[in-house]
Structure formats: structure tokens, C-alpha cells
Structure 1
Amino acid sequence: MTLSRLRPGDEESAALRLLREGELTLEGRLVEASNTTLRGTLTLDDVAVRCVYKPVRGERPLWDFPDGTLAGREVAAYLVSRASGWDLVPPTVLRDGPFGPGSCQLWIDEPADAEPLVGFVPADALPPRWFPVAAARDDDGAAYALAHADDPRLARLAVLDAVLNNADRKGGHVLVGPDDRIYGVDHGVTFHVEDKLRTVLWGWSGRPLPTDAVQMLDLLAGQADGALGEELAEHLTLAEIRRLAARVAALRDNGRFPPPPQDWPAVPWPPI
């Protein structure tokens, strides 16, 4: 049996059916993840796809997020991404698995030759059209910069993170798919009612939003109180959904990328 290469935007309904109904066989654990994160294979009708399964019972308690809610926030992030029309989050569902209910997301295979878009680079050798975000030094004291490319695909992800109130956009959570599209993963700490945006994508801070971002925000504004809000109600509180709508309105009215917070760490740790 050959592993299918279904991808977000490519027969999405088929991918969602596999995620919901496929037989889940675990392959191993992603040991660097702070919460239990398992890679597996879903099989249905002689078709198989890889997935990431995060059981609720493996979620590490957090002081500022209710216990047992991270899996639902992963699904909510996908729902908002889909409603935006940008499809930046791989298809994600809530389903039962070997360790109980959890989020199940389509696995994205990055090509071996994919160029990184975020990383640490020598401070005196910043690539063209890259933004420095933070200064750093290696173990020998050499100067480096945490930086990212001035790429419109990344800019879209930065806007989506502001909408989601993503508290953990690390460089390793930015994937380049085999179709040369950008995907964001790991959205368990999102949708808080307090401002908690932490990201490595601060390069556009204060700059005007591109036209397509304004159009996307207009689109979301018309859905937050309708069908999208009803879908999100299965995973978020009413207060969190209202704050989502308020963030969309504020971004649209301000028309600029948000600035880094002054009373909250602006960059997650570790950043990559």
C-alpha cells in the first residue's frame, strides 16, 4: 500500500474523512514536543496518510489555559484558517484514538531541499530581504540574529497568528509543503481572551497590512457571528469567540501589523 500525498487544499474533504474515520496506527512520538505528540498512519479504503495525534490526556497543565482544551484549540485554529480562505493550517479534527480523544492533523512532509524561512543567521550576513527580530550569540560569543524572510506567505501567517492570538509561533512551527505552500502547525495555546501574541514573525510590525489581508479580515468579520462562530462554540468559550471577533475588527480598523507586547515576552522560548 502506498502512502497517499493528500495535502491541505488538495481533496480536503477526502483528507478530513480520513482524519475522522481512518484506522489510526501509531508510529512513534515527537520527543521534542512539550505535550504528548504522536505520529501515526490513518488507513481507510486502502488509502493511507500520515498524521499527528495529540491526545487530551497527554496535555501538560498550563497556568493560563484551562486543562484539557488544547486539542480543541488546534481544531479551532484550523476552522478559522479554512474560513479565511488562506488554508494555512493543515486539516485538523477532534477524534478518538489509542490514548483517548485528541486532535488529529494531516502530516506535512517538507521537501529535503526546502529553503528555511526562519532561523538564526550571522548578524553580519543577514540574507537579502530578511528581517532581524532579535539579537543572539552562540557559545563562542559570535553575534547572530533571529530573523525571517520578507515573504508574503509568511506575512499571511503573521496576520493569522494575530487573529488567533497565538502564544507560541516558533520557527519550527512554520513548514514548507511539497507544493511550496506555507503551513503553520501547533496551535494549542491560542484564542486566549487576554493578549498573548508571541511569535518569531515580528518583521512587519507597524507596517500597513497588505490588501489581501484586509480582504481576509473583512471575510472573517462576516462569519464570526454566524456559521464560523457556531463551529467554534464546540471548542471555545463564548468569551473567547467574542474576543476573536474583536481582534479581527481591531486589526481591520487599525490596518497595520501589531507591535510586539511590552508587558509579555514577545518571542516564544525556544524560538526555533
Structure 2
Amino acid sequence: MPAPERIPSRGLTEDGVRTLLAEGELTVLGQVRGASNAVLYCTVTHEGEARPCVYKPVAGEQPLWDFPDGTLARREVAAYEISEATGWGLVPPTVLREGPYGEGMCQLWIEAERDEGADVTDGDRPADGLPPLLALVEGDEPGDGWKAVGFAEVGEGKTALLVHADDPRLRRLAVLDAVINNGDRKGGHLLPAPGGRLYGIDHGVTFNADDKLRTLLWGWAGEPLTAEAAEVLDRLSAGLEPGAVLTTRLAELITAAEIDALRGRVENIRRTGRHPQPSGDWPSIPWPPV
């Protein structure tokens, strides 16, 4: 499956979107509820262009025991930088900037074609519209077009098999998550967008030097990488050499030890040629899963 066409926002180039996000005037319209950290829905306006965006101020971050305080916004920007380096464009344009409540990350708002998921019993996908990306199925087998994640309790002492679509877009995202060491890939962080694009959002708990990979996208665990993924990792390895442009950008966002660990993860996946498997040292599936 070829990479989707890169049209970030109604005719603006990628550079134009980043300039808009970085230099435009932020107007806060409201707060996105249900998030553990402050997530503000805004508009950003610059030189006659205006777009909706998300602004996450550092001041609104809740402390975490395993991440340094005040670093989540920078990790979100670092995830975007890695996504861009892969060429897959899996993370919406994201910048670090000053805003009404101080420094924070600012990300283009993606109006998703919301997939509510499905509870299915035969593994079939709906005939109309976008297929669901996640589902619960009865029995022990995922069915055609699905990959098994594991069993989940669904109430009244019953369990169902949690599955995700055997979708090349999700497979790319699984590779990205393994590279950035994503500790929280939930179903609600998957945004199917018009034109067949799929974005991943909420990358604050990434790039830890210790293994923290926790995701719903384990369906390919242990399987060989695609040829495309292997080529992407080769390019990414070269881009992470000391003194490279990408490395210099990352050095402003994460620590030297975290960059070394990032290099190590890339090299390990390249060496094995396979999708990583759960380590057993850390819960492998986020809770709640959505």
C-alpha cells in the first residue's frame, strides 16, 4: 500500500501548516474533557489563514512517576519529528510554542471520520463506509481481516477476543510506536481521516529510556517486518547518526540517554527484522483500552 498523499490542511503545505501553528495567534475555545492533562481546543490564525488546533500547555501536565515533570509536550513534538522522518506522516503537524498558558505543544486538529468500533461475532467488516479498526469477537480466532490482541473481560464473567484490523496503516503505526516506545496506544488515539489517512495522537508518554511499549497493536508481534518498514528503519537509522539534522532536532526535545535508547530500539528491530513482542516487564495493553 503506497503512502497516502500528504495534504495536511486544505491546500497549505506541511511547512505552511507548521508556520501557522508556530507563529499564529492562538484563541482558546474550550477544553477537551476526559484527558488526564490539560487539552485545549483552539483556533490559530496567521496571515489570513485560520485552522483548528489542540494546545497542551506544559503547565497543565500531571506529574508521572516514570517521566520527568514538564516534558510531555516536547515528547509529542519528538514523536512528530520521527513520524516525518519515516515518511509515513502518521502524526498531525505538531510544534512547540508559547501560548496563552505558557509553553506547550500545538497540533493541527484532525476532524476524524469517527469509527466507533464494533462488537462483532463473525469477524466480518461492515459493507458500507470505513471498516472498524478495533472489535470484540466471540471465540478464539480473530477471523479474516483481523489480528488478535488478547482476551478482554466484557462483564457478567464473560470474555471476548480483542482484535484490530489487519490494515497496513495500523501496521505502520505499530512500527512507529515500537520505535518511539509509546506507553499508551489506545483505541481512542487512532483517527481515521478523510481520504484514507490514519493519524495517531497523544504521544506524551514516549521515548522513555526503559521499555514502556504498551499498545493495542500487538497483532503482528513476532512477525517479519514488511519490506517497506525495513527500508524506513534503514533511513531512520542513518538519520539518527550523531550530528544529523534529525538528531539535532531531537536533542532540543528529549535527553541524550533517550536518544541513545531510541537508536538502540531502531537497531534492535532492524537486527531481528521482526515486530517486537511484549517484554513481560511492563503491562503490554493500556487501560482503559480506548
TM-score (norm: length of structure 2):
0.88
1:206-228 CA-to-partner distances (Å, cap 9, x unmatched) read: 00000000000000010112111
Deviates more, 1:72-81 or 1:20-29: 20-29
Q: 2:78 aligns with which of 76, 79, 86?
A: 76
What corresponds to 1:205 in structure 2? Answer: 221
What corresponds to 2:3 in structure 1? Answer: none
Shift of 1:9: 9.9
The separation in 1 between residues aligned to 2:10 and 2:208, in whole angstroms, is 26
The separation in 2 between residues aligned to 1:194 and 1:234, in whole angstroms, is 20
Aligned: 1:15 with 2:33? no
Q: 1:138 aligns with which of 154, 173, 176?
A: 154
1:36-80 CA-to-partner distances (Å, cap 9, x unmatched) read: 111111111222111111000010100000000000000000001
Specify whether residues 139 and 68 from structure 1 end up closer, same or farther in structure 2 by C-alpha distance, changes over 3 A only. Answer: same
Specify whether residues 239 and 270 from structure 1 end up closer, same or farther in structure 2 by C-alpha distance, changes over 3 A only. Answer: same
The separation in 2 between residues aligned to 1:162 and 1:168, in whole angstroms, is 11
Unaligned 5+ segments in structure 2 are 1-6, 115-128
The separation in 1 between residues aligned to 2:38 and 2:209, in whole angstroms, is 25
What corresponds to 2:271 in structure 1? Answer: 253
Specify whether residues 6 and 160 from structure 1 end up closer, same or farther in structure 2 by C-alpha distance, changes over 3 A only. Answer: closer
What corresponds to 1:196 in structure 2? Answer: 212
Q: 2:105 aligns with which of 103, 106, 109?
A: 103
Q: 1:229 aligns with which of 247, 250, 257?
A: 247
Q: 1:160 aligns with which of 170, 173, 176?
A: 176
RMSD: 1.9
Unaligned 5+ segments in structure 1 are none
Q: 1:181 aligns with which of 197, 218, 231?
A: 197
Tell me if structure 1 keeps the 8 A contact 2:40–2:54.
yes
Tell me if structure 2 keeps the 8 A contact 1:6–1:15.
yes
What corresponds to 1:66 in structure 2? Answer: 68
Q: 1:33 aligns with which of 25, 32, 35?
A: 35
Specify whether residues 27 and 121 from structure 1 end up closer, same or farther in structure 2 by C-alpha distance, changes over 3 A only. Answer: farther
Tell me if structure 1 keeps the 8 A contact 2:141–2:148.
no
Q: Which amino acid aligns with 2:280?
A: Q
TM-score (norm: length of structure 1):
0.93
What corresponds to 2:117 in structure 1? Answer: none
1:70-122 CA-to-partner distances (Å, cap 9, x unmatched) read: 00000000001101111111110001111111000111111255433124344
The separation in 2 between residues aligned to 1:147 and 1:55, in whole angstroms, is 34
Shift of 1:6: 4.3
Shift of 1:124: 7.3
Shift of 1:260: 1.2
What corresponds to 1:54 in structure 2? Answer: 56
The separation in 2 between residues aligned to 1:29 and 1:145, in whole angstroms, is 34
Q: Which amino acid aligns with 2:236?
A: L
The separation in 1 between residues aligned to 2:134 and 2:12, in whole angstroms, is 26
What corresponds to 1:217 in structure 2? Answer: 233
What corresponds to 1:45 in structure 2? Answer: 47
1:165-208 CA-to-partner distances (Å, cap 9, x unmatched) read: 00011111111111211111100010011111000000000000
Q: 2:145 aligns with which of 112, 122, 129?
A: 129
The separation in 2 between residues aligned to 1:95 and 1:268, in whole angstroms, is 29
What corresponds to 2:281 in structure 1? Answer: 263
